[in-house]
Chains A and B, each alone.
Chain A
Amino acid sequence: MVRDSRVEQEYPDVGWASLVWRRFRKHRLALLGGTVIVLLYLTAIFAPLVAPYSPFDLNPARRLEAPSVAHPMGLDEVGRDVLSRVIFGTRISLTIGFVAAGISLVVGVCLGALAGYIGGLVDGIIMRVVDVLMAIPTFLLIIAIVAAVGPNMLNVMMVIGLTYWSSYARITRGAVLSLRAQEFVEAARAIGGNNAQIIVRHILPNCLAPVMVLATLNVAGAILIETTLSFLGFGVQPPTPSWGAILTTGRVYMRRAPHIALFPGLAITITVLAFNLLGDGLRDALDPKLKV
């Protein structure tokens, strides 16, 4: 690991990981964000235990009923419990956010590393694709592609993931370019390491900090896009409970039952906020000078 010289001045006798942890711990808001994320994942995993009712049980007689003690978030247009649907919606959003960000990360880091390490024509082609992806309003592009390939969970994850890798590619390429010429890489080559080994063992670990920060913020972005897609009807299809789809109903009944629109939106805001806080804290702890 390349160490930040300022860090070593701050705490001369401990390892890099514990330094990062110390700085991260001081960041109260980031800890809060991290805690919220852990709770959200627990909610997603144990949704059937946490939810007071089934998210699919209909109760048409009590449709659009306002929040009460038995149903803290009220009932929807066919009398399903909104709280239970929001709890189950956690699964969709967190899965899509996580997997989409993961796809972006893998694709972006691999292509960025190739571009930086091989250079020449490969670099030229990859970076021109990055330019195109950065130049266009990706959101409209995403809806257009999802509408074309068919709206379902897998496609949504793939399309979001394959659209947002450009920042990873840029960061990794930049890091590889600056690291490629350094002595420790030359030394690795001198003792007979091949290209793949050098990239994986020596160069990539040094791009880890910015990539982790980017990935955290990327999950937040992917969740926002997924909920927007579902809201428009191009995401996960009903009756699967997803936050965006509950909001679609909420828009239809916003005069008679504003509670349907209120709560899933709050859930989205809290989730995205938690990832943003964690990302900010990670950036400050890993590398305060980072600009992502």
Chain B
Amino acid sequence: MSMGAYIAKRVLVSVLLCLGVSMLVFLIVHMAPGDPVMMIAGLDTPPEVVAAIRREWGFDQPVYVQYLRWLQRALRMDFGVSLASRERVSYMILSRLPNTVKLNLVSYALTLAIALPVGIYSALRQYTFFDHVGTVLTLLGLSMPGFWLGLMLIILFALNLGWLPVFGMGTWQHYILPSIALGVSQAAGIMRMTRSAMLEVLNQDYVRTARSKGLAERVVIYKHVLKNASIPIVTMMGFRFAYILSGSFIVEHIFAWPGVGRLAINSLYSRDYFVVQGVVLLTAGMVVTANLAVDVVYCWLDPRIRYD
């Protein structure tokens, strides 16, 4: 299989995945208690008006017809109208998406800037003091709930010391605490993976060969070790990117960040199901795309994978 065919196959699989996810999402919202027609119409609407709305919105059709209609509209980014604010769901999501993306990118950049060098250095200095401290911090970072860390950061740096704003979005200072709260567990995961991937490569015979033929340590590390260790690291980065998108919901909630996550949680509180449906579907789409991107980057990084 050529690289083009491989990528085409992966794209096809991703599309099928998105279809599967859309079915799941549709069914969940369908399971929810309460009649959506009554929510649209309000409780004291005359029965004939309710029936008319039911017909007009297609709620009188069998489930699979409803699903297909919904999917058809969803493909055109039409997720319906919010039950609470009567705004278009697609508009509500898209207007908040840039804020979420900004926060996640800042946090992700911060994560990589810390996790990659520390992970690489820990592996190169295995079992030193630096490595032990790194391992303990990694485990702590993986075990701490992000929302609690967020609260502690607010209490310490915003409320007591007064160095940083408590919540909202505006100046660059608003980014600091939420990025840390979001990034710590991601950084821990990537650091751990980087360290073990590096260690695995460092023990390979070809690294010993490279050293014994007199290559400078810098060349060995950059040309042989890093390049080979990068494959699992890139996978991890892709996975973590996916996690970061779903992890930012709770952090946005705590810091009142005007993003998609806060929208989703507020919509869950107000049982605004069409918004929830739209957010889950869109986030899942982004995650699937991120995974697809990882696979394509793979092809470029490692020619061996191309033909499977």
Give chain A's interface residues, CB within 8 Å of chain B. Answer: 128-129, 131-132, 135-141, 143-145, 147-150, 220, 224, 227-228, 231-234, 247, 250-251, 254-255, 258, 261-262, 264-265, 268-270, 272-273, 276-277, 280
Contacts and interface: CB of A to CB of B under 8 A. Distances in A.
Nearest to A232: B265
A228 B143 contact: no
Contact of A139 (B16, B21, B246, B291): B246
A131 B283 contact: no
Contact of A137 (B17, B148, B245): B245
Contacts of B271: 147
Contacts of A255: 159
Given A131-B20, A136-B21, A232 B253 contact: yes
Contact of B145 (A148, A224, A233, A250): A224
A210 to B, nearest CB: 16
Contact of A273 (B20, B140, B284, B287): B140
A141 B20 CA distance: 14
A73 to B, nearest CB: 15
A140 B155 contact: no
A148 B272 CA distance: 11
Contacts of A227: 145
A141 B155 CA distance: 30
Contacts of A268: 144-145, 148
A269 B145 contact: yes
B93 interface: no
Q: Is the interface of A mostly helix, strand, loop or mixed?
A: helix
B143 A140 contact: no
A145 B28 contact: yes
Interface centre among B145, B264, B265 (most CB of A within 10 A): B145
A250 B287 contact: no
A139 B155 contact: no
A132 B28 CA distance: 14
B13 to A, nearest CB: 8
A139 B253 CA distance: 14
B147 A144 contact: no
Contacts of A139: 246-247, 249-250
A86 to B, nearest CB: 13
B151 interface: yes
A266 to B, nearest CB: 9
B68 interface: no
A254 B243 contact: no
A270 B149 CA distance: 13
A272 B143 contact: yes
Contact of B33 (A129, A150, A247, A254): A150
